[in-house]
């Protein structure tokens, strides 16, 4: 659904000015969008998973762990597919307040694609190099967007996400390395094309949300603070956006399910090309492992 058609539908939580800002600049940042009650519920579940991770010696289907992770000093990079891991996380991701936000930007028919909880652990939690999302999981159009929830206050020291406003309407970059292997990051030789001087660092209090379009150039620095920076992420798409190629989430329950409105009868195609990713059915770890050149399990 095109932005003009989306704007024909009344908004639930955003103003038309905010919707137009998103369509023009490719991102939104909303302070304190998620209530304290929801944050308390999310944290109760998250603390339990952190405790469970102490039993794990290596990355598995549930946890993506930093190499320095130990039982005594857990260092999580990611909780994989949180919507499938706990009823509270499922309720939040499929029926919670951020789904209203997604509907305001995608139109009345909304498809859930995937979720993840990135931790960016304290004391040097890993950077995420500049990249775009859609090359990892191409769709027939560029409606997919990702909504992030800051579960803690996020300041400069904690490695907030940075976005390049307007880059969603600019070049889509090749995320393969010179050796033909997928690296999941923009090559150094292409970085001069990225307007890094225009970066906006999305800081904010706990409960703030970020929204970025699937073509948006974004990344984040290491977390050099003494506090972890958990960021709960959910990706949604308009129902008329059809997933292409063997996908990262093909075998994940609930992925690609319509959670608002109804299934599309017609697919919408954007004429702009998209990079073809590797065949993820052979295995996928995470963007952290790819960018740090770790081998898939």
Give me the DSSP letters along 3-48: HHHHHTSPPSSS-HHHHHHHHHHSEEEETT-S-HHHHHHHHHHHHH
**Cα 177 → chain centroid:** 22
Alpha carbon distance 23, 21 (integer Å): 6
With CA atoms as reference, report the closest residue to 194 among 220, 222, 172, 175: 172
First to last CA, the chain: 38
Domain covering 3-291 assigned CATH 2.60.120.620 in the classification: yes
For the whole model, what pTM was predicted? Answer: 0.92
- What does the pLDDT read at residue 295? 45
- Each of the 297 residues of the chain gets a pLDDT tens digit; together they read 899 999 999 999 999 999 999 999 999 999 999 999 999 999 999 999 989 989 988 888 888 988 889 899 888 889 999 999 999 999 999 999 999 999 999 999 999 999 999 988 877 667 899 999 999 999 999 999 999 999 999 998 888 999 999 999 999 999 999 999 999 999 999 999 999 999 999 999 999 999 999 999 999 988 888 888 899 999 999 999 999 986 788 788 899 999 999 999 999 999 999 999 998 887 665 555 555 554 443
pLDDT of res. 284: 61
* Residues 258/111, Cβ–Cβ less than 8 Å: yes
Cα 172 from Cα 75, distance rounded (Å): 33
For position 127, what pLDDT does the model report? Answer: 83
How far apart are the C-alpha atoms of 281 and 283, rounded to whole Å?
5
């Amino acid at each position: 659904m095109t932005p003009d058609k989306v704007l024909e539908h009344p908004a639930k939580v955003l103003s038309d000015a905010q919707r137009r800002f998103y369509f023009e600049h490719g991102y939104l940042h909303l302070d304190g969008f998620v209530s304290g009650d929801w944050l308390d519920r999310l944290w109760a579940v998250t603390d339990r998973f952190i405790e469970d991770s102490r039993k794990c010696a290596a990355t598995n289907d549930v946890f993506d762990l930093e190499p320095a992770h130990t039982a005594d000093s857990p260092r999580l990079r990611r909780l994989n597919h949180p919507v499938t891991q706990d009823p509270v996380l499922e309720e939040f991701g499929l029926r919670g307040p951020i789904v209203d936000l997604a509907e305001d930007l995608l139109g009345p028919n909304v498809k859930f694609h995937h979720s993840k909880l990135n931790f960016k652990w304290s004391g040097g939690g890993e950077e995420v190099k500049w990249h775009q999302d859609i090359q990892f999981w191409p769709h027939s159009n560029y409606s997919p967007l990702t909504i992030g929830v800051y579960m803690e206050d996020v300041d400069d020291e904690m490695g907030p996400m940075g976005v390049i406003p307007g880059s969603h309407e600019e070049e889509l970059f090749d995320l393969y390395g010179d050796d033909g292997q997928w690296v999941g990051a923009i090559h150094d030789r292409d970085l001069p094309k990225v307007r890094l001087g225009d970066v906006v660092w999305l800081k904010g209090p706990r409960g703030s949300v970020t929204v970025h379009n699937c073509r948006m150039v974004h990344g984040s620095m290491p977390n050099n603070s003494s506090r972890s920076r958990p960021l709960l992420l959910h990706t949604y798409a308009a129902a008329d956006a059809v997933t292409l190629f063997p996908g990262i989430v093909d075998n994940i329950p609930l992925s690609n399910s319509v959670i608002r409105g109804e299934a599309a009868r017609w697919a919408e195609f954007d004429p702009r090309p998209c990079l073809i990713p590797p065949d993820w059915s052979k295995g996928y770890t995470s963007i952290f492992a790819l960018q740090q050149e770790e081998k898939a399990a």
